[in-house]
Structure 1
Amino acid sequence: MTELSGPDWDAVRRDYVAGVIDVEEIAARHGITKNQIDYYRAKACWPKRRPGANRPVGLDIIRRMIRLIDIQVAALEETMRKAGSMSATEIRTLETMTKTIDRLIAMDVTESGKRARQEQKPDPELEAIRERLVNRIQALETE
């Protein structure tokens, strides 16, 4: 923004409608205030924001966490092959991550059920990965 020309309201509008960054950050990026954005938005009748349009949500987050846990399990397996055992701390970490995934899946099913007003089952792909992780953890604990 220059003092003489003012902000590029088309660019401000694109950032606002995309919903990827906070309004405060948009204001700072374009050298204006949040109140100016609110005023101009109302005056120009901009469409509603799509908050988090480019952020992973729901099952995407769960899938990412499962992949991370799968990587962690593989790293622990490699460590166990080299060292011959796994520490209690590492076992507790895996248990905690598995419980977290269970909670996230339950939360997603609950939210989906609220939105659809019907009971939904978790994604079969996620359940298969989860079962594989549980089996791997159990195998590591017995070794």
Structure 2
Amino acid sequence: MKKSVTTEEIAEPDWAAIRVKYEIAEIPMRDVAAGTGMQWQKIAKYAAKHGWKLRKPRTRAQKDDALRDAGLAPTRLATRLKRLIAREISSIEGEDMKKRPAADRERDARRLSSLVRSLEKLNDIKAAKNKREREEEAGEPDDEAIHAELERRFNRLAAAGDEGKPSGRPEPGGETMAE
């Protein structure tokens, strides 16, 4: 006799967790739907029905906040990767390598290599972010400021004479221009 499934036996998806992932535009919809057992179209329909925010590109600060809220902040990821690498190494060290097939040993080495590369890439991203923040604090000129300064200098050169020769006056903070 076939047993019918009641509505209590069907687990309701964790819509709060799905919503957090859905509202991060950088996570593809197929990845959002992957762990739920549902099609991405059903999630999109539910989102529209319940007024979830549209998936749109965000500013860098908004992306950082959204990733941090989802537990995917770079510092958290780095910590998680370090723990995972340590666990993998412990697991490998705890096994008798002579008893394991070569294919399994190769798979372990590739997995460990991939984790280390991911950690290195995450560290590179963090270093680039820190460098960018230092440059912003130091007041490095942006492209528009450089463009405006070059335009000002060209205009001064054009106004210097009919022949287009440099005026010979020193630039502020610079040296005189030789003819």
TM-score (norm. length: structure 2): 0.37
Larger Rg: 2
TM-score with structure 1 setting the length = 0.44
Q: Greater share of helix residues, 1 or 2?
A: 1
